[in-house]
């Protein structure tokens, strides 16, 4: 196979170099195809990049920062990340959740270790989490696959599914104390859904489970190192990446046997134009995006002075108080309002990675959920929430960079309205993501596939959307090399 040394000679074109676009490209290149990746932005990586957003010497993860899903991903397990210079640094505390009065709950090490600090909920936490963590190696690959593929371990997956079907607000009633309830709230709120919504427990349990089974690592030097590794793997296989070229229509692409698009349904409709039958356009228009995020990065003169010791050792801190407060914040966002006291996701990579800032200084990363398309700068409200649990925090701020939800979309068109997950995590979109089709990666256009986070298994840096889409494309080309994709060719 001739490597794609010039446009027009590629077998496969991938539009977009996010983790899913690059994973797709690697899978195709491993099967012997000449692959050409076209990226609109000046640098590769989409939601997996690191930049000096504030001051010289402060390396901030622009989007993704914490990588339990990369740690759990079968695609990344098949890549020798260490040989490609990627070091996953796992903090002692996966995530902590401060409460008023200097207390905190924390996911730390084994289920038993974590439960030991949950007071009246020690037993209940162990009963809920122990079977799930024991089966994690069986369930995680199934949770990172399209639902329509038959799981290899149906009993373990069913056990997880039964526990996760209810809303987090219902599951939280198993717990008596605020600590265990808060841990569940913070993990479930990653869905960006109200905690009364179905499936919020499933996401909460997934994140708790990964906290114990995988850890919540950051990447030494920043998330961009993972992108560098994917690009290095691709180029070693003869593929090439072109940056700074926004694709406006499919017709503008060089000829290729197969095209994979790391874009969301709305962009796909625009790219395909009249080539897409009206019925498919209507089906794709029904795809729902979630709320937005307002993201803030800080350069700090020292570590955040959390009152609770567990927060000082945690890579990630869920800031927002007790279950009811987190639930109220998410409900307000769902109702189209900006919460006065938002639930905030905060990451402090300096806990394990001193390379992110000059000696003694730190970077801090945080965001809160906001209504779609919001232009509101939430930095003040996020800082007030952090200050509540870490008095003196504001005095450490040397500089900050803010991206509203609208800014996020401006930097990356995949973040429609600032939705960082590539589409709402609703029940309908769990079953039919992006639309209800047997194989979710094929489109109505022969040889054209979607491979972004808007396809299963959804948002996050795991590369599995790209890998599954590429396997589908390979199966359709009748190529050996990749295991068959889901659904009949
Ligand atoms: C603030 C924030 C925090 C996050 N935190 C985490 C986290 O801690 N952990 C985690 O696992 N995930 C996190 N995520 C989510 C994660 O980043 C995404 O789910 C993931 O990057 C999706 O990968 P993707 O390849 O589908 O799309 P993207 O990473 O969005 O990449 C899409 C790429 O396609 C390019 N593109 C789009 N349209 C075109 C076009 N027409 N022409 C050319 N190029 C185009 C874009 O420029 C972009 O580079 C976060 C996201 C954000 C924004």
* pLDDT the model gives residue 59: 98
> Which residues are within 8 A (CB) of 15 and not within 5 positions of it... i.e. 6 or more apart?
21, 37, 38, 247, 253, 259, 260, 261, 262, 263, 271
User: From ligand 1's centre to the CA of 18, what distance in Å?
Assistant: 5
61 touches ligand 1 (CB under 6 Å) = no
DSSP three-state, residue 237? coil
* pLDDT the model gives residue 335: 97
* pLDDT the model gives residue 358: 98
Instruction: Give nearest CA residue, ligand 1 atom 50.
Output: 64
Instruction: Give nearest CA residue, ligand 1 atom 22.
Output: 453
* pLDDT the model gives residue 482: 53
Q: State the average pLDDT over residues 87-116.
A: 97
- Given a cut of 70, whether residue 2 has pLDDT beyond it is no
- Given a cut of 90, whether residue 88 has pLDDT beyond it is yes
- Given a cut of 70, whether residue 484 has pLDDT beyond it is no
User: From ligand 1's centre to the CA of 224, what distance in Å?
Assistant: 12
> Which residues are within 8 A (CB) of 394 and not within 5 positions of it... i.e. 6 or more apart?
383, 387
230 touches ligand 1 (CB under 6 Å) = no
* pLDDT the model gives residue 481: 56
Q: Using an 8 Å Cβ cutoff, are 14 and 460 in contact?
A: no
Residue 488 pLDDT class (50, 70, 90 cuts): very low
Calpha distance 297→359 (Å, rounded): 18
Two tokens at 281? 């356009």
Q: State the average pLDDT over residues 140-153.
A: 81
Q: Which of 29-33, 202-206, 482-486 has the lowest mean pLDDT?
A: 482-486
Q: Which atom of ligand 1 is nearest to the CA of 367?
A: 1
pLDDT-above-70 percentage for the chain: 96
User: From ligand 1's centre to the CA of 105, what distance in Å?
Assistant: 30
* pLDDT the model gives residue 431: 82
Best residue among 63, 227, 296, 369 to mutate for probing ligand 1's pocket (most ligand atoms within 8 Å of CB) is: 63
Q: State the average pLDDT over residues 185-193.
A: 95
> In 310-462, at which residue ranges do the beta strands (DSSP E only) sit?
314-319, 344-347, 362-370, 397-403, 448-450
Q: Which of 351-355, 376-380, 469-473, 478-482 has the lowest mean pLDDT?
A: 478-482
Residue 22 pLDDT class (50, 70, 90 cuts): very high
User: From ligand 1's centre to the CA of 300, what distance in Å?
Assistant: 26
Q: pTM for the whole thing?
A: 0.95
pLDDT digits (tens, 9 = 90+) for 312-345: 999 999 999 999 999 999 999 999 999 999 999 9
* pLDDT the model gives residue 8: 53
Calpha distance 382→131 (Å, rounded): 36
DSSP three-state, residue 314? strand
Residue 149 pLDDT class (50, 70, 90 cuts): low
Best residue among 344, 367, 404, 414 to mutate for probing ligand 1's pocket (most ligand atoms within 8 Å of CB) is: 414
Of residues 31 and 4, which shows the higher confidence score? 31
Q: State the average pLDDT over residues 404-432.
A: 94
- Given a cut of 60, whether residue 127 has pLDDT beyond it is yes
pLDDT digits (tens, 9 = 90+) for 208-267: 999 999 999 999 999 999 999 999 999 999 999 999 999 999 999 999 999 999 999 999
- Given a cut of 50, whether residue 307 has pLDDT beyond it is yes
439 touches ligand 1 (CB under 6 Å) = no
- Given a cut of 50, whether residue 4 has pLDDT beyond it is no
User: From ligand 1's centre to the CA of 356, what distance in Å?
Assistant: 21
Q: State the average pLDDT over residues 430-455.
A: 93
Of all helices (H) and strands (E), which one includes residue 465? Answer: helix 464-476
Of residues 427 and 455, which shows the higher confidence score? 455
- Given a cut of 70, whether residue 156 has pLDDT beyond it is yes
The CA–CA distances, whole Å, from 439 to 425, 435, 473 equal 18, 10, 11
23 touches ligand 1 (CB under 6 Å) = no
* pLDDT the model gives residue 489: 30
User: From ligand 1's centre to the CA of 452, what distance in Å?
Assistant: 8
pLDDT digits (tens, 9 = 90+) for 276-287: 999 999 999 999
pLDDT-above-90 percentage for the chain: 87
16 touches ligand 1 (CB under 6 Å) = yes
The percent helix, strand, coil of the chain (3-state, each to 5) is 40, 15, 45
Q: Which atom of ligand 1 is nearest to the CA of 69?
A: 11
């Amino acid at each position: 196979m001739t490597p794609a040394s010039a446009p027009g000679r590629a077998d496969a074109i991938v539009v977009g170099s996010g983790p899913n676009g690059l994973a797709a490209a690697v899978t195709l290149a491993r099967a012997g195809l000449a692959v050409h990746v076209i990226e609109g932005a000046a640098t590769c990586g989409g939601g997996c990049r690191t930049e000096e957003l504030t001051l010289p010497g402060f390396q901030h993860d622009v989007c993704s920062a914490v990588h339990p899903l990369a740690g759990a991903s079968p695609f990344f397990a098949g890549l020798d990340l260490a040989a490609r210079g990627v070091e996953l640094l796992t903090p002692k505390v996966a995530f902590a959740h401060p409460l008023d009065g200097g207390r905190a709950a924390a996911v730390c090490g084994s289920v038993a270790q974590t439960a030991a600090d949950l007071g009246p909920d020690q037993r209940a936490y162990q009963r809920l989490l122990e079977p799930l963590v024991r089966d994690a190696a069986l369930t995680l690959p199934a949770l990172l696959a399209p639902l329509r593929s038959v799981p290899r371990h149906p009993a373990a997956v069913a056990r997880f599914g039964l526990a996760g079907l209810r809303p987090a607000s219902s599951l939280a009633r198993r717990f008596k104390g605020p600590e265990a309830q808060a841990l569940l709230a913070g993990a479930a709120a990653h869905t960006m859904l109200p905690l009364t919504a179905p499936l919020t427990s499933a996401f909460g349990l997934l994140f708790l489970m990964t906290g114990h089974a995988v850890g919540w690592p950051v990447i030494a030097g920043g998330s961009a190192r993972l992108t560098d590794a994917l690009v290095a793997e691709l180029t070693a296989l003869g593929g090439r990446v072109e940056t700074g070229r926004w694709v406006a229509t499919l017709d503008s692409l060089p000829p290729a046997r197969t095209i994979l698009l790391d874009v969301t349904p709305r962009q796909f409709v625009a790219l395909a134009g009249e080539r897409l039958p009206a019925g498919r356009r209507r089906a794709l228009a029904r795809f729902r995006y979630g709320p937005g995020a307002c993201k803030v990065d800080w350069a700090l003169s020292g570590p955040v002075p959390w009152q609770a010791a567990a927060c000082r050792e945690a890579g990630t801190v869920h800031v927002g108080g007790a279950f009811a407060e987190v639930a109220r914040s998410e409900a307000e966002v769902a109702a189209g309002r900006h919460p006065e006291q938002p639930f905030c996701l905060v990451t402090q990579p300096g806990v394990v990675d001193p390379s992110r800032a000059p000696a003694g200084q730190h970077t801090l990363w945080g965001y809160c959920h906001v209504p779609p398309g919001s232009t509101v700068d939430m930095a003040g409200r996020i800082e007030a929430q952090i200050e509540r649990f870490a008095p003196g925090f504001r005095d450490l701020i040397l500089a900050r960079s803010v991206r509203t939800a609208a800014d996020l979309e401006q930097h990356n068109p995949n973040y429609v309205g600032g939705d960082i997950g590539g589409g709402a995590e609703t029940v309908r979109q769990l079953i039919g993501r992006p639309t209800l089709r047997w194989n979710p990666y094929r489109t109505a256009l022969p040889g054209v596939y979607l491979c972004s986070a808007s396809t299963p298994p959804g948002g996050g840096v795991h590369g599995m959307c790209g890998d599954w889409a590429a396997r589908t494309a390979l199966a359709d080309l009748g190529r050996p090399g990749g295991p068959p994709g889901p659904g009949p060719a």
